Structure 1
Amino acid sequence: MRVIGGWLLLLFTVSCQAEFTSWQSPRGLDAAHLGQALNTRSGEWVSATTLVAALADQPHILLGEKHDNPDHQALQLWLLQALQRERAQASLVLEMLRSEQQPQLDQWQGQSLPGESLPNKLGWQGWDWAAYGELVRWGLTYPEQLLASNLSRNEMHAVYQEPKPLDEQRYNPAAREQLAQIMQRSHCDKLPAERMPAMLAIQQARDQRMAVVLSTAESPGLLVAGVFHVRKDIGVPLHWPDDMAKPVVVMQVEVGSDLPGAEQADWVWLTPAQPEQDYCAQLR
């Protein structure tokens, strides 16, 4: 009865939390399941607060985003705050932070944070601070650890110069083909064939690093990264330690996009969509 009572109390507490409704993206606001999460195994759509209840006892969570959708970053903060109310979040791991920034992160962990100068003090580069600043501040304030999970520039250069082939024990032929297609599309179908091995090696090295950082961090831990990095069939889960339970994968997906299946994610969280933008137009 004590276990059942505790679970009912958790459901009651989570149900009292407000659903996220402060959408910024304009497309798909009338979608039937907007803001809900799809359990890819059962096919059931549930509320965001029910998703929180399902994730609250998970030691490791991978949360995949579309980088240019502000609703994804806002939902990440909402989720972390909701989880924090249920249990202490021990670690937050971000793709947006490189390994050479860890000393600065450690220096500011749990300290009184400066205002506009914080990104400079952290060596923040390459990502929109307006999108991720609040997430970084939260990670420096509440968890025990805010951890960088991306390769340093020097590490990335070294991988590029001496690329290692994809590990055939981890990547099956379909996964290798999928990654090659993703790399080609991300380079506007203009990636020379001779550069493909290096791009695949960098992707592999980044996913390996994210897996190491999250699996060795204090738990419960949560990784925020691009959707391709968190996918069960091609990303971080392939490099997860064999003696540990696999992390739960939550993918944030825009209305109108194809919904991932259970082979890619455990949960699909539906959000409004940003206006379509052709990033390759100027290269044609």
Structure 2
Amino acid sequence: MNCRTVAALGLSFTLMVACAHRPPQTVPDLLSRVLPAPVLLIGEQHDAPAHQALQRDLVQTLARRVQLGAVVMEMVERGRSTQGLPSDADETRVRDALGWTEQTGWPWPTYGPVVMATVRSGAPVLGGNLPRAEMRDAMANAGLDKLVSTAVLERQRDGIRESHCGLLPESQIAPMTRIQLARDQSLAQTAAQAVIPGKTVMLVAGNGHVRRDLGVPLHLPPGVGYKVVVAQAGTVNEAESPPGDAVWQTPALPPRDHCAEFKQQMQKR
């Protein structure tokens, strides 16, 4: 029995509420929940291929509806874009325009389909991330601490500690948090500048960047409307899910010991 049938039969309020909060099952269903929106923030787990597949499908669907304004990506530095390239540009030209090399750390086979679907649609791909050349200055810029409330700043710092498995020296927590804040600010500014009336700018970033209570939404200018979609692999308790307007669930990933991997990286350095 689907949600519409449940509601039509006038069954319990609890069942109807459960249907209302059920994760969307198709891209059109997802878009019906979050549009219209000048900015649509799509969160992801970077190692979940189904999440990049969702992004590609969203790009193609919005393009068919003539609603796609641009795609802003965390994976590309601010200032880089495909603006000016023809829609039939090959991957080499696109990667050159975006500065996308193996050294960026973002695998082209993973994100190439999203990028190329955007280029084929005629909409631009815009880099939104903080340029590497600006990171050192950001780490030393205590003014970034004032971009958010004290409570948000402390939660961001706790997030840096946890995501680095408690292995970072305490002296690095504040500088690393400033980079996170600067990245959120950069992504927000890029998306806001790309807004086109009647269309949607899609922003692609990790779930931590798109969450309403800590990330990019806090840095968007007043009056810029937005919606947040959180993509998650496997079943996650609602209390553990980052705040958003919709959750897109995908199959669970094989278990990984991220802290063990990070510890090995630290030892190599």
Contact 2:87/2:121 (CA < 8 Å) preserved in 1? no
Question: Alignment identity in percent?
Answer: 32
Q: Does residue 207 of structure 2 align to residue 227 of structure 1?
A: yes
| TM-score of the two chains, using structure 1 as the length reference | 0.76
Provide runs of 4+ in structure 1 moved above 4 Å. Answer: 39-42, 115-118, 260-263
Cα distance in 2, alignment partners of residues 50 and 267 from structure 1: 10
Matches within 5 A, 1:1-284: 42-48=20-26, 49-102=28-81, 105-108=82-85, 110-115=86-91, 118-120=94-96, 122-124=98-100, 125-167=104-146, 170-173=148-151, 175-219=152-196, 220-245=200-225, 247-259=226-238, 264-282=243-261, 283=263
Deviation at 1:154, TM superposition (A): 1.0
* Structure 1 gap segments, 5+ residues each: 1-38
Is the alpha carbon distance of 1:250 and 1:196 closer, same or farther for their aligned partners in structure 2, counting shifts above 3 Å? Answer: same
Contact 1:92/1:145 (CA < 8 Å) preserved in 2? yes
Is the alpha carbon distance of 1:93 and 1:117 closer, same or farther for their aligned partners in structure 2, counting shifts above 3 Å? Answer: closer
Contact 2:229/2:247 (CA < 8 Å) preserved in 1? yes
Cα distance in 2, alignment partners of residues 233 and 241 from structure 1: 15
Contact 2:60/2:118 (CA < 8 Å) preserved in 1? no
Is the alpha carbon distance of 1:92 and 1:276 closer, same or farther for their aligned partners in structure 2, counting shifts above 3 Å? Answer: same
Cα distance in 2, alignment partners of residues 41 and 266 from structure 1: 15
Amino acid of the structure 1 residue aligned with 2:207: V
RMSD, aligned α-carbons: 2.6
- More helix as a share of residues: 2
- Secondary structure of the corresponding residue to residue 177 of structure 1: helix
Deviation at 1:111, TM superposition (A): 4.3
Amino acid of the structure 2 residue aligned with 1:98: E
* Structure 2 gap segments, 5+ residues each: 1-16, 265-269
Cα distance in 1, alignment partners of residues 67 and 40 from structure 2: 14
